[in-house]
Structure 1
Amino acid sequence: MGKKQNKEKEKNALESQRRLHICVVIRKGFTHRKLVQVVIITHAYDSRTGVRYLTSGAKAYYLPHWLVTDQVSLPTIYSFFPLFRYIVIRERIDIVHGHQAFSSMCHEAIINAKTMGLPAVFTDHSLFRFDDVSSVLTNKLLKFSLTDVDHNTVLRASLDPEIVSVIPNAVVADDFFPDPGARDSTKITIVVISRLVYRKGTDLLVSVIPRVCALFPQVEFIIGGDGAKRVEVDQMREKYLLQDRVKVLGSVKHENVRDVLVLGHIFLNTSLTEAFCIAIVEAACCG
């Protein structure tokens, strides 16, 4: 039983890392042709600590950082610098890439990279509002930490458009092909694939589902994903007696996402910050 639980934790850690990778540093080597190697720096996930090699060949450093909330590490300003500097020198890093505005390690890595004279790139796929404290502070933080980046993909930091790029969302279409026969024609199935956290609009999802089910008795929901607000989804099912109409699958491996998407007639995205996320593209590709 203990081994099974450990495997489940390992699976969840890998799934979280896939979605929340913090900082990617790139090393370039030259032999008879150009060679690019990727080194990932992130925080530890449960028992996954130290240095690991991923199946893709990338090298990952899982650092012993304290977590504050939602897999976000405690901001340390410059306390991260000694470890970061050691890794950069050891791996002979040429470029530093930080991802996600809510990642404290990302901001610190970009600042530390410029301290060491390394080019830095920042990417993000979230939009932040201007009517709440969290979004305003995040936009201000972006403006501060991105003042000296070499290239990035955000427009919220008052940057020169010449160093801003838009990277279109894309999927491998062969992995997300439609299957109309998989749907239940006697019902209308709404599919949700998302981490169950505040930023993904889980509170909105919890408030919407009972109303939709009350208005449309032929509708059922399939929810794939896990997170801090999973308990609120479970409580909603029990409160409104929707256990038979709302199925919660928990964490879904990326290679199995397509099998869940093709079961639905409608894909629902309630994210508060993502205007056009990859999940929507995957759902559209599945028909």
Structure 2
Amino acid sequence: MHYNIAMVSDFFFPQPGGIESHIYQLSSKLIDRGHKVIVITHAYAGRTGVRYLTNSLKVYHVPFFVVYRETTFPTVFSFFPIFRNIIIRERIEIVHGHGSLSSFCLEAILHARTMGLRTVFTDHSLFGFADAASILTNKLLKFILSDVDHVICVSHTSKENTVLRASLDPLMVSAIPNAVVAENFRPRSPNRESHHRSAPGPPPRLSPNDIITIVVLSRLFYNKGTDLLIAALPRILALHPNVRFIIAGSGPKAIDLEQTIERHVLQDRVTLLGPVRHDEVRDVMVQGHIYLHPSLTEAFGTVIVEAASCGLYVVCTRVGGIPEVLPTHMTEFAKPEEDDIVAATGRAIAALRAGKVRTELFHNQVKQMYSWQDIAQRTERVYDGISGVLSHDEFYQGASTGGWTATRGRAGVQSFALIERLKRYYGCGIWAGKLFCLCVIVDYLLYVFLEIFAPRSRIDLAKNWPKKILKETDVSKDGTGISRKRSSRRREKREDRTET
């Protein structure tokens, strides 16, 4: 079954990042599988209105006031009129939001439920429970996810975190990881892999005089471990004379990093590239031997998969979902502490010089582990489950659904009835529950007002672009994408769905 899907988030291209790449790649693969996908995000510098990306992916850049780190100012209700217009115009059936800190995402889920649409939320981050910012974020997330059809997390650690933060039934949360397009992150010398297969054995050792380059590519924020990097950088370079750094990224901690380099006179051994685009990441990665990722919190860490695919040995902190991402022979783990970062980096340098790490084999191994085609299939299964296409046993595999209902052999789905929605919101707290119910009632009244004074008949329906529908034979057996034999592909127009 094919769906009309709206991906909604504040975070999208041209801003680089893991959420942005996830939305684009997932949308592209869902389009290949026959679905219609649009993206709704806020306006970026030079990008306002409607844009078309590769594979006929339509992007709505809505002009809204941005307050912090590309997040729009939360207004709860002012986004509803234009959101409703886009949803009706594109005949959307499923609204898929991304990011706990995205105002557009959270508001869109609320409005979509008011409009009687199925909703899915994907959480890409980890949050605490004690500081004021986390408490406020968690309460808001509990409000929105009280009435969502399904939740997706990018790792099992992220799933546990989200279930606790939003008081969710674990059954309605799936763990579906990120992925990478391995072909876009090839090592510098692609012929090395076939050479080493024909002549197995340890790779040549690096002599003590060979330069080892350590790459760091990250947003320069506190949660990304920039303070750890700043503290460990001079010590690593002092202990290892034949090591140099390439650091790419931007953020508020950039000035601290620059001052550290100047204070220790490291300009000839540390190269600062500033912000880089996602299509330039591979060109930066292949210049190094080791990738250092000192993050303090991470739900998944797509960048370390990209680094391993480029043939880099990864040094990373053992936090969040990072231990789930790569096998141990590709990584050197450290505690999120300065001394342990220095020690782990030293172990990685020694292992490379001794020829103990077969980095030339990493690319093919990553290619077998992660595929966007597989991620799209698993996400499509979630859509089938919340839409009732799958039966209860097929979707939940016989598990108890708790408060969810299963009728007529279909999977359990949330009711759209206003009274049922109010019951779910009322249980969010003594005072918060009443406030949430008031917000839902106002949202419903606004929806009724728009239906009367801005009727659907006045909204022009967008025509669907002709696109290529892939048959099952067009997908390679390893699940990595489209096979080389494209003769079976056929171009056909999807029939316009009648408005219900």
TM-score, normalising length: structure 1: 0.82
Cross-structure match for 2:42: 43
Per-residue CA deviation, residues 184-229 of structure 1 (Å, 9 max, x unaligned), is: 9722321112122333233332333233223333322111223343
Structure having the higher Rg:
2
Corresponding residue of 1:71: 70
Deviates more, 1:44-53 or 1:203-212: 203-212
Q: Match for 1:166 among 160, 175, 180?
A: 175
- Provide the rounded CA distance (Å) in 1 between the counterparts of 2:77 and 2:264: 49
Cα deviations by residue, 1:2-45 (Å, 9 ceiling, x for unpaired): xxxxxxxxxxx944066554989x9xxxxxx9842221111111
> Which structure 2 residue ranges, 5 or more long, are not aligned?
1-11, 154-158, 193-205, 312-500
**Aligned equivalent of 1:246, options 270, 286, 289:** 270
Instruction: State how far apart, in whole Å, the 2-side matches of 1:34 and 1:177 are.
Output: 26
Query: Residue 145 of structure 1 corresponds to which residue in structure 2?
Result: 144
Per-residue deviation at 1:275? Answer: 4.1
CA distance in 2, matches of 1:82, 1:112: 10
- The within-5 A match list for 1:1-287 is 14-16=13-15, 19=18, 21=20, 35-154=34-153, 155=159, 156=162, 157-179=166-188, 186-287=210-311
| Counterparts of 2:148 and 2:139, CA distance in 1 | 15
Q: For residues 16 and 282 of structure 2, what CA distance do their matches in structure 1 show?
A: 20
- Which secondary structure state, in structure 2, belongs to the residue aligned with residue 62 of structure 1? strand
Q: How far off is 1:120 after superposition?
A: 0.9
Contact 1:42–1:63 (8 Å) recurs in 2:
yes
Alpha-carbon RMSD across the aligned residues, in angstroms, is 2.8
In structure 2, relative to structure 1, the CA distance for the partners of 1:252 and 1:208 (3 Å cut) is same
CA distance in 1: counterparts of 2:38 and 2:298, whole angstroms: 27
Relative to 1, partners in 2 of residues 1:216 and 1:17: Cα closer, same or farther, differing over 3 Å? closer
- Measure the CA separation in 2 of the matches of 1:42 and 1:153: 20
Shift of 1:152: 1.0
Report the equivalent of 1:4. none
Distance 2:16 2:289 in 1: 29
SS at the partner of 2:300? coil
The alignment partner of 2:41 has SS state of strand
**Counterparts of 1:73 and 1:213 in 2: how far apart (Å)?**
41
Percent same amino acid among aligned pairs? 55
Between stretches 109-118 and 243-252, larger displacement belongs to 243-252
Name the CA distance, whole Å, in 1 between partners of 2:39 and 2:275: 23
Structure 2 CA distance for partners of 1:19 and 1:173, relative to 1, 3 Å: closer
Specify every segment of 5 or more residues in structure 1 that has no aligned partner in the other structure, as ranges: 1-12, 27-32
State the distance in 2 between where 1:139 and 1:37 align.
32
Q: Which amino acid aligns with 1:36?
A: H
The answer on whether the counterparts of 2:16 and 2:278 sit within 8 Å (CA) in structure 1 is no
Contact 1:188–1:220, Cα closer than 8 Å, also in 2: yes
TM-score of the two chains, using structure 2 as the length reference: 0.49
Deviations 1:231-252 (A, max 9, x none): 3333332233222222112232
| SS of residue paired to 1:165 | strand
- Report the CA distance shift for 1:48/1:172 in structure 2 as closer, same or farther (over 3 A): closer
SS in structure 2 of the partner of residue 78 of structure 1: coil
Structure 1 residue matching 2:97: 3-state secondary structure = strand
Distance in 2 separating the partners of 1:67 and 1:228: 17
Local SS of the residue matching 2:276: coil
Letter in 2 for 1:209: L
* 1:56 counterpart SS class: helix
Question: Which stretches of structure 1, 4 residues or longer, exceed 4 Å deviation after superposition?
Answer: 17-24
